[in-house]
Amino acid sequence: EKKRYDREFLLGFQFIFASM
Protein backbone atom coordinates (compact mmCIF):
# COMPACT_ATOMS: atom_id res chain seq x y z
CA GLU A 1 0.00 0.00 0.00
CA LYS A 2 1.27 3.47 -0.95
CA LYS A 3 2.24 5.79 1.88
CA ARG A 4 0.22 8.94 1.28
CA TYR A 5 -0.26 11.80 3.70
CA ASP A 6 -2.40 14.90 3.37
CA ARG A 7 -1.27 18.44 4.15
CA GLU A 8 -2.95 18.71 7.53
CA PHE A 9 -1.48 15.42 8.71
CA LEU A 10 2.04 16.45 7.69
CA LEU A 11 1.70 19.93 9.20
CA GLY A 12 0.66 18.34 12.48
CA PHE A 13 4.22 17.18 12.99
CA GLN A 14 5.88 20.51 12.23
CA PHE A 15 6.12 22.04 15.68
CA ILE A 16 6.80 18.82 17.56
CA PHE A 17 10.02 18.40 15.63
CA ALA A 18 10.91 22.07 15.36
CA SER A 19 11.19 22.17 19.16
CA MET A 20 13.39 19.08 19.53
Partner 1 sequence: QELLLAECLGKHPLQNRWALWFFKNDKSKMWQANLRLVTKFSTVEDFWALYSHIQPASKLTSGCDYSLFKDGIEPMWEDSQNKCGGRWLITLAKQQRHTELDRFWLDTLLCLIGEMFDEHSDEVCGAVINIRAKGDKIAIWTREAENQQGVTHIGRVYKEHLGLSQKVVIGYQAHADTATKSGSLAKTKFVV
In whole angstroms, how close is the CB of 9 to partner 1 at the nearest point? Answer: 8
In whole angstroms, how close is the CB of 7 to partner 1 at the nearest point? Answer: 5
| Cα–Cα distance for residue pair 4/20, rounded to 1 Å | 25
- Binding mask 1-20 toward partner 1 (x if CB under 8 A, else -) reads -xxxxxx-xxx-xx-xxx-x
Burial class (CB in 10 A: 0-12, 13-18, 19+), 12: exposed
Q: Which residues bind to partner 1, rule: CB under 8 A?
A: 2-7, 9-11, 13-14, 16-18, 20
